[in-house]
Amino acid sequence: MSISSSLNAGIAGLSANSTKLASISDNIANSSTYGYKRVETDFHSMVISQSGGSYSAGGVRATTQRMIGESGPLVSTKNATDLAVRDGGMLPVAKFSDVNSGDNSQQMLLTTTGSFRPDANGYLTSESGLVLLGWPAAADGSIPNFPRDTPEGLEPVQLLVNEVTGEPTTQVDISLNLPASDTKSTSTGDVQSLSIEYFDNIGLSENISIEMTPTVPASGASNEWTMVLTDSASGGAVIGEYVLTFDVSRADGGMLASVSTVSGGAYDPATGSLIVNVAGGPIEINIGGPSLEGGLSQLSDTFAPISIQKDGFPVGNMVGVEVDANGMVQAFFDNGATRTIYQIPLVDLPNPNGMISLDNQTYMPTPDSGTYFMWDAGSGPTGEIVGFAREESATDVAGELTEMIRTQRAYSSNAKVIQTVDEMLQETTNIKR
């Protein structure tokens, strides 16, 4: 009967609005939870009577969906490894219990924000027990070619906070001016000296000594110098000798015109560099050349070292870590060195709302979410990784309170339907009397 279906419809309405109130309560309770994704409840009518005759109420049913694809606003923090994702993508994480099991079988989960700090073993771990995952870098800081559609290759990001590191010197750029007056026949032929510090393969400080001896002609000016390089790590042995000739033309006066190799590595005029072998291996020294900026010059009567730039660092301790916008985990050392130790990819899915929602604002891919792919942050459909930041809850408290009022009214109305049906059934019962 229609009156019985009205009772069932009222009960269905109470149940549906109870479900909506539960989702609203969850959203409001998590309005201050970082990275929380709100739950949305939809109502769907149920049609039972599709033909003529008496009408039977079908009622309503409720479905809920967590809006994982929605993002909350970002807020700045003071911790370098507080991470948030801006404009698409999710961070790969794993449960600490899985990582600590030691069997390398951690399940990859996804999240959009987290406050990560090193634990006792150096793993970047959040207070909720999530460990950040990333691809480990090679010794030279490059990232190997890992698969992008599986979690194979991802490892817990571990900071060896007591690690010391050093980097040997492999390249030196020299910029200095030699006095043109020293190559005249009236010159005393004084030798100009320069010492360049470099770091060997075990972080020790060594020196390359450079002596510049002018060629003093019988008359006029030779505009020629002999450059001899010695290595302190090799007992002061000569590692290179070169004859330098400088241009005197109006257009290129004072510039290095040619270099003749007496011993040591050959000079390359295209790059302006030569390679000498110190005790620990080869070092490329850039002295400039024709039409090249910087390097050696011969002008006026002043010996002036302008700049010496080189790579390599002495041994130093790790003092800090940051994650840049492209997901590169950069370790900073007190010797000034910076080393890339991991890369954090961003995971993209066709339907993020199809993932399974788990505790601590983490999500697990499912067939409904589609096949995921790991992108370099800032490429493809993904955005940037923001350090010193957290993502706030996606809950709009004002909107939820408004929905709560509407839900309360709808619940009361459905309760009134049940009360009315009860009164009508009571009247039917009273007919017998």
Task: Check residues 55 and 361 and name the one with the higher pLDDT.
Answer: 361
Tokens found for residue 97? 């219990």
User: Which CATH number covers residue 226?
Assistant: 2.60.98.20
Domain that residue 267 falls in? 169-311
Same domain assignment for residues 109 and 203: no
How far is residue 150 from each of residues 91, 173, 187, 413, measured CA to CA in Å?
14, 44, 72, 51
Residue 53 has pLDDT above 90, yes or no: no
What is the value of pTM for the model shown?
0.77
CA–CA dist 213, 193 (Å, integer): 9
Q: Using an 8 Å Cβ cutoff, are 354 and 372 in contact?
A: no
Q: Using an 8 Å Cβ cutoff, are 347 and 364 in contact?
A: no
Residue with tokens 């419809």: 9
Phi, psi of 13 (to 5 degrees): -65, -40
Same domain assignment for residues 383 and 260: no
Same domain assignment for residues 96 and 230: no
Same domain assignment for residues 406 and 353: no
Same domain assignment for residues 157 and 196: no
Same domain assignment for residues 347 and 405: no
CA–CA dist 314, 204 (Å, integer): 7
Question: Which residues does 370 contact at the CB level (< 8 Å), separation at least 6?
Answer: 349, 350, 351, 354
Q: Give 293's pLDDT tier (boundaries 50, 70, 90).
A: confident
Q: What is the pLDDT of residues 62-108, one digit of tens each?
A: 999 999 999 999 999 999 999 999 999 999 999 998 887 766 678 99
At 337 the pLDDT is 82
Tokens found for residue 226? 């002999």
Q: Using an 8 Å Cβ cutoff, are 167 and 147 in contact?
A: no
At 344 the pLDDT is 98
Tokens found for residue 272? 């302006």
Domain count, the chain: 3
Tokens found for residue 258? 């040619």
Same domain assignment for residues 232 and 138: no
Q: What is the pLDDT of residues 230-285, one digit of tens each?
A: 999 999 999 999 999 999 999 899 999 999 999 999 999 999 999 999 999 999 99
Q: Using an 8 Å Cβ cutoff, are 171 and 311 in contact?
A: yes
Same domain assignment for residues 178 and 302: yes
Task: Return the minimum-mean-pLDDT range out of 3-7, 113-117, 228-232, 254-258.
Answer: 3-7
CA–CA dist 424, 119 (Å, integer): 67
Q: How many residues are listed for the chain in this entry?
A: 433
Q: Using an 8 Å Cβ cutoff, are 203 and 314 in contact?
A: yes
Across residues 19-26, what is the average pLDDT? Answer: 97
Same domain assignment for residues 182 and 270: yes
How far is residue 185 from each of residues 188, 217, 325, 363, measured CA to CA in Å?
8, 5, 61, 82
Same domain assignment for residues 367 and 416: no
Range 146-163 burial, b when 16+ CB lie within 10 A, else e: beeeebebbbbbbbeeee
At 60 the pLDDT is 93
Same domain assignment for residues 372 and 307: no
Residue 1 has pLDDT above 60, yes or no: no
Q: Using an 8 Å Cβ cutoff, are 263 and 271 in contact?
A: no
Same domain assignment for residues 226 and 298: yes
